[in-house]
Amino acid sequence: MDYKVSQLRQDAVSGDWIVISTERGKRAMEIIKKRGKRKIESKSKCPFEDLTKSGNSEPILIYEKNGQWDIAVIENKFPAFRYKNNCKISFKSNFFPVMDAVGHHDLVITRDHNKNFGQISLEDAVKTFKIFQERYKMFAKEKCISYVSIFHNWGARAGASVYHPHSQIIAVPVIPPDVAHSLRGSHNFWAKNKKCVHCVSVNKELKEKSRVIYRNKSAVVFAPFVSKEPFEARIFPKKHLPYFEDTQEKDLRGVVEALQFILKKITKNLNDSDYNFFIHTAPIKDKKKYRHYHWHIEIVPKTTLDAGFELSTGMEINVVDPDEAAKILRK
């Protein structure tokens, strides 16, 4: 694209407009270069080194290796959602619908204090995703749960309050607005074209190649043409798979391998930037309703902050062209 002219781009799923403004891109690269060395917190102060002595509840699921715990699922000490078998909406405020924050809030902790998700073995990474699936299926049996959010925060700028690598699973009684937005856009495209919008996008990226960062037999990683954030990347299974929890191990392994690849590239090429990654999948209930959807992972390195324009309009300004972002991340 012409680097002297900003460009508006509209997302084919959400309909949202974003701005690609590469003239401002030097600021993002300066932030990356100036980023200080990551502070490694001591194991002696880590609440996850000894799960029970730190006052955590008994593990919900625990997996051992060589006589010690390897991966554990525990309840968050300070959960945003708590289990309760009642999810009726009330009108306590006399105007706004109100309901109790019914659900679950778990932590999935990998054993090594000093290895983030990109650095653990592929076997442990796949095992972690299989644990996500196992816990997901447990939540699916509960009448009050409508959606399960699975995400990972790495670093303080990404919202991680504890250094030790861990992911989070939050099960909620409603479909979150961003997910609902994506589901609606996917459904509308399917109804009009009889095709999955994500499959069309993946095939387009594979054909054009300029934004593809990595691919294997089961998955592809690319910088979306309509990227909201600098160096944003997405991972899709090549198969049309609406439901994360039903994904077979062969396809899951390919996705996890791709995820570890891009996380290592972020560490290497973006000066060990903090990041978030999260899974977008179809909701738990009414499974036949969401066959048009295609589950995927979104990865967002933390290189910039939203300011007045973004907050006042909901329109993001991305200062790094996705073609250039992919080129940098492929190095």
Q: What residue type is 85 in one-letter code?
A: N
Tell me whether domains 7-37+188-330 and 43-172 share a fold.
yes
Average pLDDT over residues 229-245: 97
User: At residue 257, does pLDDT exceed 70?
Assistant: yes
Give the start-to-end residue ranges of the domains of the chain.
Answer: 7-37+188-330, 43-172
Looking at the chain, which runs of residues are DSSP E strands? 7-10, 17-20, 61-65, 68-75, 104-110, 147-154, 166-172, 212-215, 219-222, 233-237, 275-280, 296-301, 317-318
Query: pLDDT, tens digit, for every residue of 70-114?
Result: 999 999 999 999 987 777 776 666 778 888 899 999 999 999 999
Long-range CB pairs of 150-153, under 8 A, 24+ apart, other chains included: 150/244, 150/278, 150/279, 151/276, 151/277, 151/278, 151/279, 152/117, 152/276, 152/277, 152/278, 153/276
Query: pLDDT, tens digit, for every residue of 66-80?
Result: 888 999 999 999 999
List beta partners, residue 107: 74, 168
Q: 36 vs 216, which has greater pLDDT?
A: 216
pLDDT (0 to 100) of residue 259: 98
The mean pLDDT value of the chain amounts to 92
Reported CATH class of domain 43-172: alpha beta
Residue 90 DSSP symbol: B
Rounded to 5 degrees, φ, ψ at 207 are -75, -45
pLDDT (0 to 100) of residue 85: 72
User: At residue 47, does pLDDT exceed 80?
Assistant: yes
For the entire predicted model, the pTM comes to 0.94
- Please state which CATH number belongs to domain 7-37+188-330: 3.30.428.10
Task: Give the model's confidence band at 241: pLDDT under 50 very low, under 70 low, under 90 confident, else very high.
Answer: very high
Query: pLDDT, tens digit, for every residue of 293-317?
Result: 999 999 999 988 888 999 999 899 9
